[in-house]
Structure 1
Amino acid sequence: MTALHTTPSEDAIIAIWQDEADAAPGNADIFRPDRVRPETIRKRIEILHAATEVFGSKGYATATLQEIAEQVGITHAGVLHHFGSKRNLLLETVRYRDVADLAAMGRRTMPTGRQMFDHLIETAFRNSERPGIVQGFEVLSGEAITDDHPALDYFKARYLNLRTELADTFRELCAEQGVTDEKKIAQASAAILAVMDGLQYQWLVEPDAVNLGEATEFAIRAIVDAVLPPKA
Structure 2
Amino acid sequence: MIPKGFITALRLLTIIPVIGKEAEKRYCAIPYFLIVGLIISIIHFLGAEILYHYLPGLTVFAGLLLTIINYTASGALHLDGLADTADAFSTVQTREKTLFILKDPHLGTFGAGAMFIVILWRIITYQQLFEQRMMLWVVFALMFSRIMQGLFLLLIPYARGKEGKAFGFKGPFAFTAILIMQSVLLFAAGWLIFDYRIVLSVVIGIASILPICLVYHKRIGGITGDGIGAATEVFEIVFLTVVVAFV
Greater relative CO (CA pairs within 8 A, separation 6+): 2
In the superposition, the TM-score normalised over structure 1's length comes to: 0.32
In the superposition, the TM-score normalised over structure 2's length comes to: 0.31
